[in-house]
Structure 1
Amino acid sequence: MFKRIEQVLPGEILAADLMDPAGRLLFPKGATLSESAIEALGQRGVADVEVEDERVTLSAEQLRQAAEHARRFYAGHDLGVPPGPILLGLRTEAEAQRIERGLPPLLRDCRGPAGPVQLPRELPMFCLDSFDPPQLSAVAQDLNLALSEPDPSSKKIVEIITRSPGLTAKLLRLVNTPIYGFQRKVETVSRAVSIVGLREVGMLASSLLMVDQFGVIPKSVIEMRTFLEHSLGCALTCKALAESTGLAQPEQAFVAGLLHDIGRLYFFTSFPERSRYCIDSALKHKRPLMTEEALFFGIDHADMGERLLDGWRMPPGLSRTVGSHHNPARATDLPLAGIVHLADLLTHAMGLGCSGECGPPEARPEVMDLIPIQPEQMVDIAIRIETQLGLIMGAFQ
């Protein structure tokens, strides 16, 4: 978990290498911090460090109850094939921690109807044949156009982003969270561009604008905060998987994870009554929400996300990744699709937020061929993501 330097206690153990702004190693992962070491780090301007989390030891009865809740969540899924055992283990751990804290099971998020259920003929119309992506804001349009140029201008990208004070503030809050590991505060967009990268910052800003495009999900559908928590949890997991495997740029992976459910966000905000009907029908018939989306919208959220991103002239690789995140075999030439698929599975297993899908998405066994990663690495990533998510959620408030 990340801690402010003034909150670190002597004897705590570093969970990751600690570097100075020049990239020099200060302390290696696993180092035990003494009182003098903590004082020295504070004097060098180190604001945050990542220390090992002290996990609570659970009783056999707590683990039994947690395992029962986890098996219910994965009922009907074949968990004998990787990554099944890891997913079940992570879900059991998530449920066990809730039991230890006196909280209800994670399945509580899957509510029944919020009120009288409308009949399909009473729902607002949606016609896929006449669909056009909603018009983006002027800042988002200009930014996407600038990013599509063969050699984007750094000055132009910075000027477009800083036109929006809200976007600038959110972007700087994000890059100053410990997930980027900068020891000194990044105070300007131009500085963020110089150390993170022009296209990376531009794409990150563009994705933030697209998430904000649709406003707030009505509470009659699901809580906006829990949807955002799921999206950010997936984004962080994508970034960690990209860093561990080297198969994609971490910042690009973060953007793909953040936008993976953009199609569902469109459904929830633009057609809340039809979306609520889909959720209720999925619960009633014990079917995936994706199945109901295809029935009542004529398209599921993954394909809708691809249409939206294509319509907004986002990079083809990003839109195809979003469209393939439930079936990465459709994009075997794009490792990022496999990363997003695996990240989505892990995020559901950890119980981070809620995408509206009350059950786990179907795990594609071929993803372990596309994304070669060891089980212990996935567990390590899951532990780190839980501690990082609270920090990044704060940047979005």
Structure 2
Amino acid sequence: MTENTAKYLVQEGQELFSLPDIYYQLREMTGNPRFSINDIALVITKDPALSARLLKIVNSAFYGCQARIDTISRAITVIGNENLRSLILATSIVNTFNRIPHDLVDMTAFWLRSVNCAVIARLLAKKCAVLHCERLLLAGLLHDIGSLVLYTQIPDKSLQVLLAADHNRGLVAGLEQEIIGFTHAQVGAELIESWGLPDSLSEAIRYYLTPEKALVHKLDAHLLYLATRLADGKGQQRAVPEILAEISDETLSIVRLSESQIAELMNRADNEFEQVFESLGPGKRFH
């Protein structure tokens, strides 16, 4: 293994980018029928911040529950184990990366874009009737996570990339390949794999820039690609038809959603975004 591989970079920063023990404990419990909902709820309630964030997001428009949910056990019953794991992971990750130096990245802007993308990816997946669409929420939230590893581990080269790109996101991956030897998408996929997360997630992130290269989880990769383009277009205040005109025919044929469906979905994303952003955020630094 050489020092210029994405895998090596992730291994070097393993301690810095490790997930909290509670995530692994809950992952094991939610996958084991020996543990009841009350057992799982008991572990979560020992972490007041995590409990508060879970209840906040489950009670938001994002889930659209009719009656207020005020206990963790009820929240688990409503959203299910699979979605619970995704939400716990999402909140854990935001906290894991809240100590990144601000020299290269405005972390509030980073999470604003990532959460925007997460909300859009989940809504796209839901509209496409994807089972356990929370995994696309995670994919959206994590698609750019490799950039944070690059900023932390090789700040000088990362700065070179950012200066050369001059705020044009479309140039970043090519410049990373040229200057660093691999992209933030590859680093993100390696990090996801090091955490032992599903292949669907790592493959979607590895190929979100080039979804046509995805081998097994093609729909996820194309949905994530579309979500990132829509999120960026929204940030530039571009209209949906203008954004979709630049999306490949392959993506549009795989996703199979009309322009009007996507426009409606983007309006809904605006309504849901703020609540998800506030729910996932690590305290005041996220406001």
TM-score greater than 0.5 by the shorter chain: yes
Deviation at 1:369, TM superposition (A): 1.7
RMSD value over aligned CA atoms? Answer: 2.8
Q: Distance in 2 between matches of 1:276 and 1:157?
A: 43
Task: Tell me which residue corresponds to 1:380.
Answer: 264
| Mapping 1:265-276, distance limit 5 Å | 265-276=148-159
1:177 has 2:60 as partner: yes
Q: Distance in 1 between matches of 2:78 and 2:257?
A: 28
| Preserved CA contact (<8 Å) 1:306 1:319 | yes
Determine which of 229, 237, 245 is the counterpart of 1:345: 229
Matched positions, count: 264
1:256 has 2:104 as partner: no
Task: Tell me which residue corresponds to 1:192.
Answer: 75
| Mapping 1:146-295, distance limit 5 Å | 146=29, 149=31, 151=33, 153=35, 154-283=37-166, 288-295=171-178
Query: 1:122-148 deviations in whole A, cap 9, x for unaligned?
Result: xxx97646431333322233334445x
Determine which of 201, 219, 226 is the counterpart of 1:318: 201
1:127 to 1:242, Cα distance in 2 relative to 1, 3 A = closer
Q: Distance in 1 between matches of 2:167 and 2:64?
A: 45
| Preserved CA contact (<8 Å) 2:114 2:140 | yes
| Mapping 1:49-68, distance limit 5 Å | none
Task: Tell me which residue corresponds to 1:307.
Answer: 190
1:143 to 1:295, Cα distance in 2 relative to 1, 3 A = farther
| Preserved CA contact (<8 Å) 1:235 1:258 | yes
Deviation at 1:228, TM superposition (A): 0.7
Relative to the length of structure 1, the TM-score reads 0.60
| Preserved CA contact (<8 Å) 1:233 1:352 | no
Deviation at 1:287, TM superposition (A): 6.6
Task: Tell me which residue corresponds to 2:220.
Answer: 336
User: As a proportion of its length, which structure holds more helix?
Assistant: 2
Give SS of 2:249's match. Answer: coil
2:112 is aligned with what amino acid? E
| Structure 1 unaligned residues grouped into runs of 5+ | 1-124, 354-361
Q: Distance in 2 between matches of 1:199 and 1:286?
A: 33
Deviation at 1:250, TM superposition (A): 2.7
Deviation at 1:221, TM superposition (A): 1.8
* Structure with the greater alpha carbon radius of gyration: 1
| Preserved CA contact (<8 Å) 2:7 2:187 | no
Q: Distance in 2 between matches of 1:152 and 1:343?
A: 38
1:159 to 1:342, Cα distance in 2 relative to 1, 3 A = same
| Preserved CA contact (<8 Å) 1:215 1:269 | no
| Preserved CA contact (<8 Å) 2:6 2:186 | no
| Preserved CA contact (<8 Å) 1:217 1:223 | no
Deviation at 1:278, TM superposition (A): 1.6
| Preserved CA contact (<8 Å) 2:5 2:182 | no
Q: Distance in 1 between matches of 2:130 and 2:78?
A: 21
Q: Distance in 1 between matches of 2:247 and 2:272?
A: 25
Relative to the length of structure 2, the TM-score reads 0.81
2:191 is aligned with what amino acid? L
Deviation at 1:363, TM superposition (A): 4.2
1:326 is aligned with what amino acid? L
| Preserved CA contact (<8 Å) 1:267 1:275 | yes
Identity %: 25
Q: Distance in 2 between matches of 1:277 and 1:312?
A: 29
1:197 is aligned with what amino acid? G
1:294 to 1:140, Cα distance in 2 relative to 1, 3 A = farther
